[in-house]
Structures are given as C-alpha cells and as structure tokens.
Amino acid sequence: MKVVKIIAWIALIAFVVIQFFPVDYNQSEIVPQTDFMLVNKVPATVEQSLRVSCYDCHSNNTNYPWYSKIQPSAWYLEHHIKEGKAELNFNEWDDLSDRRKTSKLRSIISQIEDGEMPLDSYTLIHRDAIFSETNKTAVIDYMKKLKDSLE
C-alpha cells in the first residue's frame, strides 16, 4: 500500500511539473494573401466544410479546445498540428507551384474519399468536423474541378 502511495505522489508531482513546459500555439490574426480561400473561388458550403474539418491542423490559425492548456495533451496537439501543416498548409497555398497544387489536390481527394481525413482522433471530439455525405461530395467535386483546371 505504501508503494502505491509513493507512485501516486510521484505521478501527481510529475503531472504538475510538466504543466510548466508550454507549447507554441498555432495562432495568427493575419490571413495571408496566399490562403486557399482567397486565391480560389470556393463555394460557401465547401469553404465552411474546410474551415471546420481541415483548417485547425492545416493552417496557421488553430481554434484550440479547452484541453489544449493541459499537458501532455498540449504536446500531442502541437505535434499533430505541426505534422498537418508540414503536409499541407492552406494559408500557403498560392506559394505552391501548379504541379505541387495538383499533387496536393489528388491527395486531398483520395484521403477524403477513403475516410482518412479528417482524422478519427480529431472527429472523436470535434463531431462537427465529420463530413456529411453531401458536404463530402461537394468538397471532392470542387477539389476535382480545381485540379482539372490546373492540369
């Protein structure tokens, strides 16, 4: 019983200590001129779907949930967002070459069609980020149309 108390105290102290190691929050008030929504004529329904389902991890401005202030979940979120932005950052869309845009659009289409995006770990808590069949079709059709215009 004494060992359990010691382990519990060590765990509690460790939990408190890690709260003092902050993360770099992905937040910006500026929407660059290279943003996907600004350089493309995106229909309102598609824009709303992308903002709700994609932009938290794939832009320079994340809308953080309450648990983002608690470690170790903040570290997990920071890592997840950095990975997402490294793969695709909608705020830097117009900086990409047409060839790269086409490649990204193919990937977007494929991952949405296969149900890989948005991630299950994201939609578990953000239920509004799950694409309805109508929204999924609208986003895929728009991305295909955009891809075809670049080829």
Q: Which domain holds residue 54?
A: 24-149
pLDDT at residue number 23: 77
Give me the tens of pLDDT residue by residue for the chain, a chain 151 residues long.
788 898 888 888 888 888 888 878 877 888 889 999 999 999 999 999 999 999 999 999 998 888 888 899 889 889 989 999 999 999 999 999 999 999 999 999 999 999 999 999 899 989 999 999 999 999 999 999 999 998 7
User: Does residue 57 lie in a domain region?
Assistant: yes
Residue 54 lies in a domain: yes
Calculate ∠ Cα 63-28-72, nearest 5°.
50
In a domain, 6, yes or no: no
Please report whether residue 104 resides in a domain: yes
Residues 6+ apart with CB under 8 A from 74: 22, 23, 67, 68
Buried b (16+ CB within 10 A) or exposed e, 14-53: eeeeeeeeebeebeeeeebeebbbeebebeeebbebbbbb
Query: Looking at the domain assignment, is residue 46 inside a domain?
Result: yes
pLDDT at 94: 95
Tell me if 89 is assigned to some domain: yes
- Confirm whether 51 is domain-assigned: yes
pLDDT at 89: 96
Residue 3 in domain: no
Q: Are residues 139 and 49 in contact, defined by beta-carbon separation less than 8 angstroms?
A: yes
Domains: count for the chain? 1
What is the predicted pLDDT for the residue at 144? 97
Q: What is the pLDDT of residue 109?
A: 97
